[in-house]
Structure 1
């Protein structure tokens, strides 16, 4: 992911950030918590696609 970051535009970065925020909101709504939130803990799939997924 790090090597792809430089090629990502603002829209794509915001898309990934929104996905992450929605995922955390859902987990908190289900009362699921994780103490080790870090960028290294996020798996981004399909980075070669127009809109990668978490």
Structure 2
């Protein structure tokens, strides 16, 4: 589910929109993105997006 959340975040969807698409709560989306940030040692959502887009680490 983290991968799906990240993919949608990279498509510039908001947490609320991601939650709607995946039929989960906004808080669950936030938790998944926070987990990815922790695993990647990245502090902000903006930096996370920039990092994954720059390095082309997600196949969309």
The structure with the largest alpha-carbon Rg is 1
TM range (shorter): 0.3 to 0.5
TM-score where L is the length of structure 2: 0.37
TM-score where L is the length of structure 1: 0.40
Answer 1 or 2: higher relative contact order, Cα 8 Å, separation at least 6.
1
